[in-house]
Amino acid sequence: MTSEHPRHLAAALRRRDWLISAWPWRALAYLVTTVPIAGVLTVGLLIIGAPLLAAANALRQHGRPPEIPLMLFLAVGSLTMVALAPLASVPVAAVERWRLGLVDGRPLPTSRWPGLVARYRSAAGWREVAYLFWLGGVVPVAYWTFLVLVLLDLGMVTSPWVVGEADPVVIWRPIESAGEAVPYAIVGVLLVPVLCYAAGLLAAAQATVARWALASPADAAALREVARSRTRLVGAYEAERRRIERDLHDGAQPRLTSLTLQLGLARLDVPEDSPAARPLAVAHDQARGLMVMLRQLVHGIRPQSLTDLGLADAVREVADASPVAVTVHADVDVDGELPEIVETTAYFVVSEALGNVARHAGATRADVRLTRTGGDLVVEVSDDGRGGADPARGTGLTGLADRVAAADGRLLLASPPGGPTLVRVELPCRR
């Protein structure tokens, strides 16, 4: 049992200490405060609903259509109710959002008043109207059913004290003595926790519907703009990455190579017993180490093998360098026209996944599969290791998922305890 405090009633119901926590009282407060709101809405619905049901019943039983005044009343009343419902739902929705905090502490997305016309045209406004009818029509039925169960249980618990020879108690059958009522009382006491959980479930169900109906959806236009902005940022990042790669590869790397060569030639001209020989050797070694570091930096930005060999052969090169036996399966069209970010992401997915296999999986072999499915490049890396890979235990898989998300792809992981492990990455190839 987790020690984390649950933020909403549905999560609290799964805890063992629910009955001795404050959540039953919060659920009861939510149910009790629903009664006056639902009662007013029910009366409003009955003004139209009761005559409508009566007219329908008369038509079904006697075959007589309703009289013209009743039909006019029903038509005008129904149209007026539908016309005023988007406005009437505004204060009710505000109160319901506030009351929802009794059983759900999570933030509820809301939006500002969109205007009178937009109120009638928005899906969010009509969802609130649907919640209004649900609160006035469905909730009272559920509450009356629950109240009957509570009264029945109360009658069972109190039956030994209220039964008498001249006044029998009827539960399922007449009970005429206290001895006969005792088993019913025991069952009634045992059902009290069940009713408490039932009340919690009723409140949780109502809160779930309220959260769905009253949460303002995210603005679709804003979401599209966020997607476009992310695409522009990824494109700008790729352009900057290519510029840095060119500067390092064409500028700094040749000059550092020349410096290393000059230091090597200088070492040949300086006698070993010269005072300058030692510092010169240290400088030469540092320059060579710096060359290796720079080569690794360039490789980390975009591997040269990826440019020279293509994705499939570059992945095979990574597989050959792995301490675990790796088999690579690649479709013939994998090296076709792929966006550069897709190629680079796929390469680093394979490299990181095989690195995780070698370090953590305890595997004897692994398989890499590169396929084109529709408009996506699919990368799958599987191994026969111990399984149990969990992104929460390290940053490797999390960083991999972030890299894939930046390319607008998705990463799927299956790693049950005992293995096998499968990492599947789907990258869209649209340009």
pLDDT, tens digit, 9 for 90 and up, residues 370-420: 888 777 888 888 888 887 776 666 546 777 777 787 777 888 888 788 778
Q: How far apart are CA 76 and CA 70, in angstroms?
A: 10
Q: What is the pLDDT of residues 178-209, one digit of tens each?
A: 777 788 788 888 888 899 999 999 999 998 88
The runs of H, that is alpha helices, within 333-387 are: 340-356
Q: How far apart are CA 304 and CA 308, in angstroms?
A: 6
Burial of 11 (0-12, 13-18, 19+ CB in 10 A): middle
- 63: its two tokens: 């075959």
Q: Are 363 and 395 in contact (CB under 8 A)?
A: no
Q: Are 266 and 323 in contact (CB under 8 A)?
A: no
Q: How far apart are CA 70 and CA 77, in angstroms?
A: 10
Residue 73 has pLDDT above 70, yes or no: no
For 242, the 3-state DSSP assignment is: helix
pLDDT score of 202: 92
**Residue closest to 360 by CA, chosen among 330, 325, 388, 326:** 388
Highest mean pLDDT: which range of 48-62, 151-165, 172-186, 372-386? 372-386
What contacts 415, CB < 8 A, 6 or more positions away?
A: 387, 388, 389, 390, 421, 422
- 131: its two tokens: 């919640």
Q: Are 366 and 320 in contact (CB under 8 A)?
A: no
The single residue listed with the structure tokens 């009658």 is: 155
pLDDT more than 70, % of the chain: 69
pTM of the model: 0.49
Kindly report the CATH number that applies to the domain delimited by 309-428.
Answer: 3.30.565.10
Range of lowest pLDDT (273-282, 310-319, 366-375): 273-282
Q: Are 306 and 347 in contact (CB under 8 A)?
A: yes
Residue 224 has pLDDT above 60, yes or no: no
